[in-house]
Chains A and B, each alone.
Chain A
Amino acid sequence: MTALGELTRPWQAMSYGFLDPSAKRELRRAMLKAVAVPGCQIPYASREVPMARGWGTGGLQVTLTLVNPGSVVKVIDQGADDSVNAVSIRQFVEKVTGARGTWDTQEATILQSRHRIPEEMLREDQILVLQVPNPEPLRPVQPNMSVARQMHADADYGRLWLVLYEQIVRSGRIMQGASYPAMVNGRHVMTPSPIPRWDLPKLNMSRHLTLLSAGREKRIFAVPPFTRVEPLAFADIPFRVEDHASLVCHRSGVTGFFMNEIPQTGGDSRHELSDSHFGIKAIRRAEGEAVEIGATWYRNGAMT
């Protein structure tokens, strides 16, 4: 006779990857929908995870659903792998999945990021997971989610162009910083999450899949590989990335990439590479180590 114990698995404190299978199934369905309709926000239930909302819980749920023990996971916050919250997320993913963590963009299979896309180009076998605080590009012109949903259905985006136009009238140029709105696949306007404008062209016709997930706001959207991502702009006033092309990293001597500005006591400022591990690799190579640095999206400060 079969003992009851043989029919069940031993009790475990949590499922593999923390989320239970029903949560993962729901997320997979939402991700597939998001890939099928690029840029369209797909609602999902969004489980509580052992991290505060607004701290990458949406990205974390996607990562935990995609990950397997063979995955290599890179987590960055503002471009840095050792930023405190990035460390916390990477340690959690390693702990509950057995996946290996890495700082190296080239080596990672899943890259979870807050507010940056690495400078080295991503390949088709890599997935970028962007943490999204506010998934709704229409929020500043329409804070009501149900009305905004209707506006997306109608492709009613005139008020976004109006905001950009007002900026030009009032300040002489487009003042939008990060979270620059972009038309995806010619149909849905999305916010690319608060990545700098520098990173937005990296999403256009890229080889990798990008999943954008807002845990608190319970929305997921995607930019599939080889999908058009066009920043909103005017025929006579084109989209411009940050004016960082000529800045020099004071640590690595590298130039032509997005930089952090570090104010100095003398009143001036120094700059350092925002993609911290890219900077580390550049320093190591300069010191004579054999370090492999991948092809970058930008060359000589211009998008390739």
Chain B
Amino acid sequence: MAYVATRGGERAIAQAERLYREGLGPVDRDRVTVIARSLPWLVDRVMGEASLYEPELAALALAQTGGDLYEAVLLLRAWRTTQPRLAIAQPVTQDRLFTLRRISAAFKDIPGGQILGPTLDYSHRILATGVLEDQPLSSAPVQKADHPAPPHHPSLAAWQKAQGLVADPPREQVAPDAIPDLTREPLLFPAPRAHRLQSLARADSGGVLALGYSAMRGYGNAHPTVNELRLAEAELRVRHPRGTVFSAGRVKISQAEVAAKNGGTRIRLGFAATLGWNEVKVISAATLDLNAAGATKGAPTEEEFFLYHTEPVEASGFCIHFKLPHYVTFQSSLDAMRDAKARSAVTTETGPHARYPHTSGDAGGASAPATLPDSVEQIGETAE
């Protein structure tokens, strides 16, 4: 079977994966523990994009893939989709969050106060090269405030609503199992707001930053002012079959509300939230939400554009699929190209039928370059 001997795909893929795993070395529980403990912000980012809150599994995914973020997110998404839905948690309102960081750029001070919380925002970004010379990086212990900040804070938008600065639409009453969920139903446009916010919550951090930044720079119609940014822990309140509502634990969440002050008598708000602490992502995503209303088709701020193009598993998967063989598709175009080229050569030689005048001085015209026009667009060739 000479035909087969030249191929041997089964052995090749097994060995290729072994080679990759060999580079990573054995993955054990210790490695997972170290990742979970030492890289909480990375774990948070992965949990947000996977839309699965489980720090240990996220650390495992990072260990198993050697830190390839898209691979890690895919591992978690594929695991998540097989899990049963045991219960739907109670809605979380802002004033019930255990807030660890809360800032507003819209006002100098806000009801409940600005809470700086843990941040590198004002640190000097100097690489601690001393660590490599055995001087561990550690800082002096945190000095507690005289009066601890309250764990719960009202939302700034509540104050703005009371002032009539922000529209206050009535809260929609939706049964828990009727909340739109794009992991169980297709995303169609115009999308329900729940789908838009869910899709942004799962979005690729880099992707929403790129598109959000384009809106911030001027490709959007609204400049975002951070109305309120929060890093918090939300209590997961679940109803027991007996009827009691109990806490099943807490999850870290981040949320951003950005405000546009232009246009009319009211402030417009854009909102985004995600699992885990990821400030860049929620500010960018909220900016896209803010700019989506009335965006022109095909603009980066249009809902369909940014939701389709910031989906990390789809975008990364399609990007790497171009490594797959495409020789049938390629072959399918070759005969048409050769035929068109031959026709073009014939029309060039015969002169009168040539579509483009000869610019060469050659009276015979036979040596004129083939007049193939610009590349011809093909149907469906843009995405294979």
A and B interact physically: yes
Binding site for B on A (CB under 8 A): 14-15, 18-20, 22-23, 26, 43-50, 52-55, 57, 77-80, 82-88, 91, 114-116, 133-134, 137, 139-141, 143-147, 160, 163-164, 166-167, 170-181, 191, 194-198, 216, 218, 242-244, 251-252, 258-261, 274, 276, 279-280, 283-284
A279: chain B residues within 8 A (beta carbon): 3
Complex Cα gap A84–B378 (Å):
28
Indicate if the CB atoms of A216 and B187 lie closer than 8 Å: no
In the complex, which residue of chain B has the Cβ closest to the Cβ of A22?
Answer: B184
Shortest beta-carbon distance from A190 to chain B in Å: 10
Complex Cα gap A213–B15 (Å):
30
A176: chain B residues within 8 A (beta carbon): 336, 378-379
Q: Which of B97-105, B215-223, B310-318 binds A?
A: B310-318
Q: Which of B114-122, B237-245, B320-328 binds A?
A: B320-328
Shortest beta-carbon distance from B79 to chain A in Å: 8
| Given A52-B74, A82-B9, A144-B297, 16 more pairs with CB closer than 8 A | A52-B321, A53-B318, A55-B320, A84-B12, A85-B324, A87-B10, A144-B298, A170-B376, A173-B339, A175-B376, A177-B334, A194-B332, A242-B332, A276-B3, A279-B3, A284-B1
> Known contacts A78-B325, A178-B333, A283-B1; is A137 also within 8 Å of B379 by CB?
yes
Complex Cα gap A79–B380 (Å):
20
In the complex, which residue of chain B has the Cβ closest to the Cβ of A287?
Answer: B1
B333: chain A residues within 8 A (beta carbon): 175, 177-178
A251: chain B residues within 8 A (beta carbon): 2-3
From the candidates B13, B78, B81, B332, name the one contacting A177 in the complex (CB within 8 A). Answer: B332
Indicate if the CB atoms of A260 and B331 lie closer than 8 Å: yes
Indicate if the CB atoms of A134 and B81 lie closer than 8 Å: no
For A15, A147, A175, which residue has the most chain B Cβ atoms within 10 angstroms?
A: A175
> Known contacts A23-B81, A83-B9; is A283 also within 8 Å of B3 by CB?
yes
Indicate if the CB atoms of B80 and A140 lie closer than 8 Å: no
Indicate if the CB atoms of A242 and B81 lie closer than 8 Å: no
Shortest beta-carbon distance from B345 to chain A in Å: 11
Complex Cα gap A141–B187 (Å):
22
Shortest beta-carbon distance from A169 to chain B in Å: 9
> CB-defined interface of B340-352 with A at 8 Å, one 1/0 digit per residue?
1001100100000
Indicate if the CB atoms of B82 and A18 lie closer than 8 Å: yes
Indicate if the CB atoms of B336 and A173 lie closer than 8 Å: yes
B373: chain A residues within 8 A (beta carbon): 170-171
> CB-defined interface of B370-383 with A at 8 Å, one 1/0 digit per residue?
00111011111111
Indicate if the CB atoms of A48 and B77 lie closer than 8 Å: yes
Indicate if the CB atoms of B324 and A77 lie closer than 8 Å: yes
